[in-house]
Amino acid sequence: MKIKTAKRGRGKMKFNRRVVVLLMLCFALSLANVANAASTPFVQGGGYDQGAYDQLGDQPTELNWTRHSRFDGVNSNLYEKWSVELSPASLFSPVIAEDGTIIVGTQSNKLLALNPDGSIKWEYAITSNLDDSSPVISQDGYVYFVTNGILHGVDVNTGSPRWESINMGIGNLGHIAIDRDGTLYIGSQRRLLIAFDPNLKITKWQSDIGYPFGQPVIDVNGDIFVRSKSGNDLFVSSVSPDGTIKWQSEVDHINLSDDPRFSAPQLDSNGNLYVVSRHGKKLYSVKTSDGTLNWSLQLEGNLYATPALNEKQQVLYVTSSLGLYAINLDGTIKWQDITNGVGSYNSPLVDKKGNVYINSINKLYIFLEDGSRMAPFEVGTPAYSSNNVTIDSQGTLYFTNSKGYIYAIGGEIAGGETPVDPNPPVDPNPPVDPVGERALLTIILSHGVEKEYDLSMQEVQQFIQWYEDKANGNGPITYAINKHQNNIGPFKQRQDYILYDKIIAFEVNEY
């Protein structure tokens, strides 16, 4: 194993100098369990069930989310910080834990944990190569992944096994999705969707949904959606949390083999699924309620990967073997770049500012929201890249390639704030006495919506006191916030009622 470090120092970062009081109070899917977070917690998106992933992790899963990061990625003066030779080939996207540990699977019979400087933290030996999936990090501190029909669970900090690896007895398994209760949903190439309880170590149910199996995603109602194929027909299936098939919708009839293992549907908060057809070269939008087709859009080039969703801008980003499309949620094309060699089989990643990142062959491409793109950044030896870009809390970009390398790309973050300081106080507390007279209170809710209020510091302190009381089991479950600036027209007063158990985090910016 080789580690190649950068020949130059770390790029300079620009820091925001305004006075900010940051309170990150995250619930671990339990009303009574509130933790202090080093950054805005991981949110899968408005259409998704907030699964029991490590919400404090930089990036705990590759799929089952919008692929819209809460961090800004580096986009200026890019350079290779380091690269590590993992194995003869590596086809899997890394995930990143809360402390910056990078977890990546290899095809040399091991799972690796790397420190942020590229050195090895631990490695976990397995008896076979990883299947067509990336690891996931759960909220209780375990990494789950599958190899040749065997489910593994290891401690994210030490690499020690949680239990003896479990042979599911049903052939190859695919990517894992986690629901809010911690149940693991796993796809099998033997037509099955499997629900597994990692605490009891039992299979809760199996559902036959078709072959080969796509990657599962879970919506706010707990329903699971997958792509599958039967004969020459491409289907989307909806499965209830008890394993009952609710509906199956045929979205395409294709004459060529369409392997859906490498793609998952994308979900928006309005109850719509977005599905790509590889050889059909189409994007489909269907309703989650009954599978009814909203629209379809013919594109150019083969479509392999899960789309990324910028719900704030109401745009989907879809990669094809010819390039990148930005598609409005009504099915019209906003812009496209399919003539300049950007073709990729990987999913795009959207950063906090709306920049779009794609790795293709040995190049990293960065697109702005208007479709313009920066000069591609080249790394290493040309090699097929079959995985997606990951961003950590410092904006560093990670991806692997088929030559067996993982790359860490550093640089500067131009045109916006830097990511949150990774070393804030362990237990940040609000000031006893207000420093300023007023503040902007921003509340982040569990379905991804942000609410912002311009309040006096007295009102902010009252909100914080209510939240702390409720965290200790006292007080009402709702809190009324006066919307001062919106008290117009015939209204004497307008208020927002905030539910305690829907709050993921809040931020106070005094002025």
Compute φ and ψ for 368, nearest 5 degrees: -90, 170
Distance CA(42)–CA(59), nearest Å, equals 7
Distance CA(267)–CA(160), nearest Å, equals 34
Which tokens go with 104? Answer: 């990546």
The per-residue pLDDT for 234 is 79
The per-residue pLDDT for 96 is 96
Count CB atoms within 10 A of the CB of residue 160. Answer: 11
**pLDDT tens per residue, range 387-401:** 789 999 999 999 887
CB 144 within 8 A of CB 152: yes
| DSSP conformation class of 418 | P
The per-residue pLDDT for 471 is 81
Which tokens go with 345? Answer: 């089989």
Could you give the count of Cα atoms lying within 13 Å of 202 in the half-sphere of its Cβ?
A: 3
| Amino acid found at 469 | D
The per-residue pLDDT for 59 is 95
CB 156 within 8 A of CB 137: yes
Q: How far is CA 492 from CA 209, 455, 458, in A?
A: 55, 17, 21
The per-residue pLDDT for 36 is 27
The per-residue pLDDT for 429 is 44
The per-residue pLDDT for 69 is 95
Distance CA(241)–CA(218), nearest Å, equals 9
Count CB atoms within 10 A of the CB of residue 89. Answer: 19
**pLDDT tens per residue, range 458-510:** 888 889 988 888 887 777 778 888 887 654 555 566 778 888 878 888 888 88
Beta strands 315-319 and 308-310: pairing type? antiparallel
Bond prior to 212 in cis (omega within 30° of 0)? yes
The per-residue pLDDT for 139 is 94
- Helix/strand/coil for 508: strand
The per-residue pLDDT for 167 is 82
**pLDDT tens per residue, range 435-458:** 558 888 999 887 677 888 888 888
The per-residue pLDDT for 391 is 95
Contacts of 331 (CB under 8 A, 6+ apart): 283, 285, 294, 295, 296, 297
Per-residue pLDDT of the chain (511 residues; tens, 9 = 90+): 545 544 433 333 333 333 333 333 333 333 333 332 345 789 999 999 999 999 999 999 988 999 999 999 999 999 999 998 876 655 668 899 999 999 988 767 788 999 999 999 999 988 766 656 789 999 999 999 888 778 899 999 999 999 888 887 766 677 899 999 999 998 876 778 899 999 999 999 998 887 656 689 999 999 999 887 776 777 889 999 999 999 998 887 665 555 555 678 999 999 999 999 877 789 999 999 999 999 999 999 888 889 999 999 999 999 988 889 999 999 999 999 987 778 787 899 999 999 999 988 778 899 999 999 998 898 876 555 557 899 999 999 998 877 778 899 999 998 754 444 444 444 444 444 445 588 889 998 876 778 888 888 888 888 998 888 888 777 777 888 888 765 455 556 677 888 887 888 888 888 8
List the 76-85 sheet strands across, edge first: 3-5, 76-85, 405-412, 397-400, 390-391
Of the candidates 109, 114, 84, the one whose C-alpha atom is nearest the C-alpha of residue 97 is: 114
